Structure 1
Amino acid sequence: MSELTHINDAGEANMVDVSQKAETVREARAEAWVTMAPETLHMIVSGQHHKGDVFATARIAGIQAAKRTWELIPLCHPLLLSKVEVQIEACEKTHQVRIESLCKLAGKTGVEMEALTAASVAALTIYDMCKAVQKNMVVESVRLLEKTGGKSGHFKAEV
């Protein structure tokens, strides 16, 4: 197992110094799922939700969250993201919503946390917009799907 990079020699939390790292193109994809009642999903998909377009709002929230990850998670670096994409898909057979995010940049540190934050906040936004209709929705399976670039190389989650 690798050494923890956010802990200094004294065992204290610190921000990693990336000044000597090479700039490379880095990309990460993450996903999250929201499980809900079939009626709730139907209301969203059919456009009958009284708060408006739930998926469009969640998509924007996810993009904004990726851009502000450094403000939310201690020790994350502020990044100049070159691309943030949030895709949302209704899975009516299982009454779930799947969110997939993609973050990309050319820089000295990875974008895994930005991708995970985008997927998480998009899922939480769906919950927030629908909680008046259904409080027992479940946000689950937030995970990194893939990452490329940097010293640690390529990672792809098992299906």
Structure 2
Amino acid sequence: MNAKIDIALTLNGEAVTGRAEPRMLASDFIRDVLLMTGTHVGCEQGVCGACTIRFNGVVARSCLLFAAQLDGAVVETVESLGAPHDLNDIQKAFRKHHALQCGFCTPGFLMTVSEILQTLPLSTDHEIRDALSGNLCRCTGYEHIVRAVRDLVNQRDGVQA
């Protein structure tokens, strides 16, 4: 089965196309065909969260989707959030609170945080930890990540730190 299919989608606000074998994973398509290498591939089983993207407005594990499922979709990768010279608020909070070390898990965390800030109250650190529980980090111990999200929640809610 080497026949490739055409895939057209909106990626980070721009219409793009690519070709892939029907069995190709969305994570591989995004990285290898569309060259959005910020989407990291970790466990390839949907457990670690490193490959998290927004798929039609909702965070999803790109390693659990086929590239063909992206046809006609709106996809946002970590590259949609900001650039090294123009960081968004989430990226700034992660930098401020040293919420990354090796950085491998960071794109997935950033994409998850972009959704949970819009959808969850996150009133306590326990709620923040629970909301982030689908993303694994082997370096930070999570404390700095929770601090970054707490700072973002306080900004969102107008609370002075």
Instruction: Please indicate, yes or no, whether the TM-score normalized by the shorter chain is above 0.5.
Output: no
Coarse TM-score class (shorter-chain normalised): under 0.3
- Higher relative CO (Cα under 8 Å, sequence separation at least 6) belongs to 1
The structure whose residues are more often strand, as a share, is 1
**Which has the greater radius of gyration?**
1
State the TM-score, normalized to the length of structure 2: 0.27
State the TM-score, normalized to the length of structure 1: 0.27
